Amino acid sequence: MHKVSDVKMGQDILRINRHIASENRELFDRHGITVFNVMGAIGSGKTCLIEHAIEMLKGEYRIACIAGDVVASYDSERMARHGVPVIPVSTGKECHLDAHFVEHALEDVDLASFDVLFIENVGNLICPADFDLGEHAKVVVVSVSEGDDIVLKHPVIFKTADLTVVNKVDIAPYVGASAEKMHKDAVSCGSSSVILTSCRKGEGLASWVSFLRSVIKGT
């Protein structure tokens, strides 16, 4: 027979995570590194947006990436093709990164060798919202192909977002989705700022980079 007791696991895990995240943030600040936590739906375009960001910013800043995924090698290879160091973090079965994963990923890395760190989180609109990684800005990416009710179905993550990116607007007419509705919904959920993009057509990428620059200069 098992004894049933009242163990509040979730609370402890989140408290410990907040503690490690604040240590990560102190470390980043000490080294002058600006960190972006790029969260969002599976296949919404997180890696594509990071690849564009690397191309547009690598002349000005030294960039590094953490590619977090259940199997991280695919995205890390894509990022590395742009000539930046990438640390793959394969979570196995975990559906989000936590601050401890990030702490370990950076153990053997020279923190003086880069100024900007992109962390691609595992594709998921639920659990990543609970786990601070020590970043300076949270970005949430969705695309029109998830359906234009996706934002209202996952309000918590959009509430935490410093920026929501509604991507793949080029295919909105073909999937019967309204990118404008998604924009309005993200604002109503509390997202600080929202942009519409198409990585395929290059639309909105200037706004994407201008958001990144504003965070980098503000930290």
Ligand X SMILES: Nc1nc2c(ncn2[C@@H]2O[C@H](COP(=O)(O)OP(=O)(O)OP(=O)(O)O)[C@@H](O)[C@H]2O)c(=O)[nH]1
**Which residue ranges make up the site for ligand X (CB under 6 A)?**
40, 42-48, 69, 75, 123, 167-168, 170-171, 198-200
Between CA 136 and CA 40 the distance in angstroms is 17
> Minimum distance between the CB of residue 160 and Mg ion, rounded to whole angstroms?
20
Q: Please identify, using beta-carbon distances, which residue of 20 and 196 lies nearer to ligand X.
A: 196
Q: Please identify, using beta-carbon distances, which residue of 20 and 76 lies nearer to ligand X.
A: 76
DSSP state of 143: E
Going from the C-alpha of 109 to that of each of 38, 82, 87, the distances in angstroms are 20, 19, 9
**Residue with the shortest CB distance to Mg ion:** 47
> Minimum distance between the CB of residue 202 and ligand X, rounded to whole angstroms?
9
**CB of 164 within 8 A of CB of 194?**
yes
State the binding partner of 124 from ligand X, Mg ion, none, CB within 5 to 8 A by kind: none
Between CA 26 and CA 121 the distance in angstroms is 20
Nearest of 41, 46, 92 to residue 69 by alpha carbon: 92
**Residue with the shortest CB distance to ligand X:** 123
Q: Are strands 194-196 and 163-167 parallel, antiparallel or unpaired?
A: parallel
> Minimum distance between the CB of residue 48 and ligand X, rounded to whole angstroms?
4
> Minimum distance between the CB of residue 61 and ligand X, rounded to whole angstroms?
21
Amino acid letter, residue 210: S
> Minimum distance between the CB of residue 149 and ligand X, rounded to whole angstroms?
19
H or E stretch covering 87? strand 86-90
Scanning the structure block, which residue is given the tokens 């408290």?
A: 15
State the binding partner of 204 from ligand X, Mg ion, none, CB within 5 to 8 A by kind: none
3 state SS of 113: helix
Q: Please identify, using beta-carbon distances, which residue of 127 and 152 lies nearer to Mg ion.
A: 127
Sites of contact with Mg ion (CB under 5 A): 46-47, 75
Q: Please identify, using beta-carbon distances, which residue of 47 and 160 lies nearer to Mg ion.
A: 47
State the binding partner of 115 from ligand X, Mg ion, none, CB within 5 to 8 A by kind: none
